[in-house]
Structure 1
Amino acid sequence: MLAAFSILLIVAFDAEVTRLIQLYIVGVFVSFTLSQLGMTRHWTRELRTEVDPATRRRMRRSRAINSFGLAMTGVVLVVVLVTKFLAGAWIAILAMGTFFMIMRSIRRHYDSVGEELAIQADDQVLPTRVHAIVLVSKVHKPTMRALAYAKASRPNVLEAVMVSTDPVERDRTLDTWDRLGIDVPLKILDSPYREVIRPVVEYAKAIREASPRGVVAVFIPEYVVGHWWEQLLHNQTALRLKTRLLFTPGVMMTSVPYQLRSSRIGEERAERQDGQVRAGGTYADWARGRDEDRG
């Protein structure tokens, strides 16, 4: 953004240094004046608590020097603003004021979030129950890993949930579930309009409403792949679902990764990049290795 703004100023002022120098002068003397003001306030604050006579004399001398600098730079700044305001100094003032307001707004936002995140008495109360849901698209290794991990977490209630968009696939999954003797109940959520996200979100909300002091833990099996283009082919439904569930209070999400064979490529790439960093390689070396892996 700063580069684009600089290009805009160069074009607007026809790259004439005599016109652009007005912006520079304002910026320089504003920074000089504020720095001297800051040091003056610093010494004044330190003098309130310092008791050693020698140190106090040194602080008073430093404050006097900074006060003199503040007066000089302040006078020059006022002169520049009065004489060069219409010649382009107003642009620098407007830009600094805009950035100041933006930074103040960001600070207020962080302060507000900090107050909202402050720990209260009821934040240490444990949930009355944990209702765990393992999402099932089909019966395969990622599903079994997610079921095993969910069992290890020992929730109060554990069930597998499948969104049915195809009766044939639903029946095949139920037969496989019974044939393998999986000891977790499988609940089917019918979705005649082939929606996958909405039924899961509504079911999680219903569980939460039935037990407001409990939590719903959703376990989502995900593939770990090694090629960037594989990310476009896998995990898209899981990504959309997690995005929706993030806005549902009382619902916790856990991604259970399953590494496909191609994930070894990503692991080897990460190891090579770590080796380049340890060996003192440059960013260009790292980027070159990344591009070669993508190719």
Structure 2
Amino acid sequence: MSSYVKRFLIGRPLKSHEAGEQKLNKTKALAILSSDALSSVAYGPEQILLVLMTVSAAAFWYSIPIAVGVLVLLIALILSYRQIIFAYPHGGGAYVVSKENLGKYAGLVAGGSLLVDYILTVAVSVSAGTDAITSAFPSLHPYNVPIAIGFVLIITLLNLRGVTESASVLAYPVYLFVLALFILIGVGLYRIATGQVSPELHTSVGTPVAGISLFLLLRAFSSGSSALTGVEAISNAIPNFKSPAPNNAAKTLMAMGGLLALLFSGIVLLAYYYGVTPRAEVTVVSQIAEETFGRSWMYFFIQGTTALILILAANTGYSAFPLLAVNLAKDKFIPRMFTVRGDRLGYSNGIISLGVLSILLIIAFEGQTEHLIPLYAVGVFIPFTLSQTGMMLKWIRQKPEGWLLKLIINTTGAVISFIVAMMFFLTKFAQVWPVLIFLPLIILLFYRIRKHYDAVADQLRLTTCEPPLPIEGNVVILPVAGITHVVENSLNYAKSLSPHQIIAVYVPFEREEEVVFEKKWEAWQPDIRLVTLYSPYRSIIHPLSKFIDTVQRKAQESDYQVTVMIPQFIPKKGWHNILHNQSSLLIRAHLLYRRNVIVTTVPYHLKK
């Protein structure tokens, strides 16, 4: 039954050679990998205004020069990541760049930051999208968390169906959002140009404002820079592109940068000219759309597409997180299960893990986007800074043709990214302090996992592992619960192996049971030794374990191997298992961790 449900939800399995068909062209890749960056225009400008509002509405004109600063950073990052794409065409982004140029631990800081950032990408995007929906329909506000969780489950399911299939479904809403915002910006600028927007709604650029400081402007700049989250996703996901992957990825990155610059600038300008003030339950984009079109169908179209892209921006995380996890898993810093492709050739373990962790985060923060954005943004700018610094060292060491210009580009990106990251720590420490705790913990976890894998490899290597102990014979211990076909089947199998000795073990809870069973066994199998272990405390595992230890110690003296052979009947239908106490499974689970004891199960399949 479960396999049919899985086929219905995920689709038929794909063969390994069909992996090439799961690659993305530039059109689909722009929609899937740029949705995070493009969606951030729905909350990036708002973050600037929230900081300036602490002074007064008169300070809103500063959003214009701040937006220019954000665009300068965007240009530096786009050019920098374009260089990373060609320098590291196999993907990995900030993790690979930092590891190869700054060392293992810098790579782990970048990788750990990005892993957490992609989880935050999903949580922030879906929470922001839910906010857009509840802005249009306030009656849904109490249900923010359940709505957000529902959207995460849907996107997870789409990604489990495969990269191209999810891209085919999710591309349309992204391009509809871009179209809707271009219409909004175009109509808004036309209204401003034709004098339909009152100049009294905003203060003139250059108006002196009491209380403004450089520190506050830097704080607003760092908050607005949250609009640049997701810029690195394309460099992480190069393997998802059709050939030639680096060229297609670079063109997609440039297209994303152009669209992001236009949309971000347009929203900032309209917010300034309209004199929009951020409000708790109505987003800035919602206010601009309502001011431009009223509560018409166009307003709901803009709100609908904004909500969709904010939700679908989570897909950037689903595209990049599994590939980053693959790189970390190949280097043995996270479990190897992340390198395994699922039925639809996607890295399904990474997809499912991302979905589960995102839901936990949404529940923990109760879907409050403003509480997640600072943590989200600082998690981006740490790997931004490390990757740009790594590229600086790469150009200085290798000095390829045109390296000086490349060095200037990466240096600019590194300096600005570092300033933004520091501003987050200085101005929003109360919200971003968890980074200082979970990042060292993640790196410690990476280290412990790698240490485990190295230890396992060392122990399994033929040249270094201990020589196997000699085996002169085998002693079989057979736990029995009665005289049945299941026990008979196991005994016949044990006899076929010609062991040195077979010992049947029965654990009675009453003395009367012990006497009765011994008589029955003597009549049924007189040639097989029976040991009864009376258990007054009704435990099977404890007396059985003590007996096995005793036999094992004696067997070891004569170089004999102890094998515990567990009889187990298998019901015809799976649900029948819940009707039985599963003692054999408990015994096996307990004994698996015993050294020098082999545990084997002899199944007996029931027919009805």
Structure 1 pair 33/186, CA: closer, same or farther in 2 (3 Å)?
Answer: same
- Paired AA for residue 479 in structure 2: L
Structure 1 pair 79/255, CA: closer, same or farther in 2 (3 Å)?
Answer: same
Whether 2:381 is the aligned partner of 1:29: answer yes
Q: Deviations over 1:128-163 (max 9, x none)?
A: 332111111111100011111112222222222222
Q: Which residue of 1 aligns with 2:453?
A: 110
- Paired AA for residue 140 in structure 1: T
Q: Deviations over 1:195-224 (max 9, x none)?
A: 322221111101111132432101111121
Which ranges of structure 2 fall in alignment gaps of 5 or more residues?
1-356
1:102 Cα deviation from its structure 2 partner: 2.5
1:250 Cα deviation from its structure 2 partner: 1.6
Report the Cα distance in structure 1 between the residues aligned to 2:446 and 2:363, rounded to whole angstroms. 23
Report the Cα distance in structure 2 between the residues aligned to 1:127 and 1:179, rounded to whole angstroms. 33
Instruction: Choose between structure 1 and 2: higher helix proportion.
Output: 2
Whether 2:577 is the aligned partner of 1:237: answer no
Bigger mean CA offset, 219-228 vs 141-150: 219-228
- Does the 8 Å CA contact 1:134/1:160 hold for their aligned counterparts? yes
TM-score, normalised on structure 2? 0.36
1:116 Cα deviation from its structure 2 partner: 4.2
SS in 2 for 1:124: coil
1:60 Cα deviation from its structure 2 partner: 2.0
Q: Which residue of 2 aligns with 1:73?
A: 413
- Does the 8 Å CA contact 1:37/1:67 hold for their aligned counterparts? no
TM-score, normalised on structure 1? 0.68
Q: Deviations over 1:57-86 (max 9, x none)?
A: xx8248667644542222112211232223
Q: Which residue of 1 aligns with 2:218?
A: none
Count of residues in correspondence between the two structures:
246
- Paired AA for residue 3 in structure 1: I
1:104 Cα deviation from its structure 2 partner: 2.5
Q: Deviations over 1:71-114 (max 9, x none)?
A: 22221122112322232454445444443333233222333343
Structure 1 pair 168/92, CA: closer, same or farther in 2 (3 Å)?
Answer: closer
SS in 1 for 2:482: coil
Q: Which residue of 1 aligns with 2:604?
A: 258
1:251 Cα deviation from its structure 2 partner: 1.3
- Does the 8 Å CA contact 1:150/1:158 hold for their aligned counterparts? yes
Report the Cα distance in structure 2 between the residues aligned to 1:65 and 1:224, rounded to whole angstroms. 70
- Does the 8 Å CA contact 2:564/2:598 hold for their aligned counterparts? yes
Whether 2:545 is the aligned partner of 1:191: answer no
Which is bigger in relative contact order (C-alpha 8 A, separation at least 6)? 2
- Paired AA for residue 199 in structure 1: P
Q: Which residue of 2 aligns with 1:15?
A: 369
Whether 2:591 is the aligned partner of 1:214: answer no
- Does the 8 Å CA contact 2:511/2:534 hold for their aligned counterparts? no
- Correspondence for 1:146 among 486, 490, 497: 490
Whether 2:127 is the aligned partner of 1:127: answer no
Structure 1 pair 66/154, CA: closer, same or farther in 2 (3 Å)?
Answer: farther
Identity over aligned residues, as a percent? 28
- Does the 8 Å CA contact 1:26/1:77 hold for their aligned counterparts? no
SS in 2 for 1:221: strand
Q: 1:63-102 maps to which residues of 2 (within 5 A)? A: 67-85=407-425, 86-87=427-428, 88-92=431-435, 94-102=437-445
- Does the 8 Å CA contact 2:396/2:407 hold for their aligned counterparts? no
Structure 1 pair 61/4, CA: closer, same or farther in 2 (3 Å)?
Answer: farther
SS in 2 for 1:205: helix
SS in 2 for 1:112: helix
Whether 2:358 is the aligned partner of 1:2: answer yes
SS in 1 for 2:477: strand
Report the Cα distance in structure 1 between the residues aligned to 2:363 and 2:403, rounded to whole angstroms. 41
Report the Cα distance in structure 1 between the residues aligned to 2:601 and 2:396, rounded to whole angstroms. 55
Report the Cα distance in structure 2 between the residues aligned to 1:8 and 1:205, rounded to whole angstroms. 47
Q: Deviations over 1:17-56 (max 9, x none)?
A: xx754444433333334444556777899x7xxxxxxxxx
Report the Cα distance in structure 2 between the residues aligned to 1:132 and 1:161, rounded to whole angstroms. 10
Bigger mean CA offset, 88-97 vs 183-192: 88-97
Report the Cα distance in structure 1 between the residues aligned to 2:435 and 2:553, rounded to whole angstroms. 55
Instruction: Choose between structure 1 and 2: higher strand proportion.
Output: 1
- Does the 8 Å CA contact 1:43/1:62 hold for their aligned counterparts? no
Structure 1 pair 29/209, CA: closer, same or farther in 2 (3 Å)?
Answer: same
Bigger mean CA offset, 126-135 vs 234-243: 234-243
1:121 Cα deviation from its structure 2 partner: 6.0
- Correspondence for 1:177 among 492, 512, 521: 521
Report the Cα distance in structure 1 between the residues aligned to 2:449 and 2:468, rounded to whole angstroms. 30
Report the Cα distance in structure 1 between the residues aligned to 2:542 and 2:372, rounded to whole angstroms. 57
- Paired AA for residue 206 in structure 1: T
